[in-house]
Amino acid sequence: AARNFTLNFTITNLQFTAALAMPNSKKFQSTEKVIYHYVDPLLQKSSIGPAYIGCKVMAFRSKEDRDDTGVDATCSYRDEPSDPKFNRVVVYHELSNMTNGITKLGHYSLNSQSLYING
């Protein structure tokens, strides 16, 4: 069985544009690919790594006068008896450590108070 969890964070060096609000735009799709490029390896290295299936960016949101961009993603993992158990607190701490205290995601800067994981 597959289960989902939400992953939210805010990028402080990605200015929100109208194109980011449209999932069919080239800007949304190219930014989404970059997010996957950075997020997927982190979750694969986390405690749920062997059970991790992937994430889907659901939306980019305007934050604080469009200077920052919020990212809303839904991520999936297998929930089989032999797979690692999902613990949102553990995954939060692992992602925090892997992003320098929730400040860096590749070339993106993050709002250190913005990481949210809900399972």
Dist CA 8 CA 1 (whole Å): 23
pLDDT value of residue 119 = 74
CATH of residue 96: 3.30.70.960
Range of the domain at 108: 2-118
Q: Which pLDDT belongs to residue 91?
A: 96
The confidence score (pLDDT) of residue 98 equals 97
What is the overall mean pLDDT for the chain? 95
The tally of domains found in the chain comes to: 1
Residue range 45-89, pLDDT digits in tens: 999 999 999 999 999 999 877 789 999 999 999 999 998 899 999
Name the percent of the chain lying above pLDDT 90: 90
Give the model's pLDDT for residue 63. Answer: 86
Burial call 47-81: b when 16+ CB within 10 Å, e when fewer: bbeebbeebebeebebbeeeebbbbebebebbeee
pTM attached to this predicted model: 0.93
pLDDT of residue 9: 97
Residue 43 has pLDDT above 90, yes or no: yes
Angle, alpha carbons 16-97-103 (nearest 5°): 30
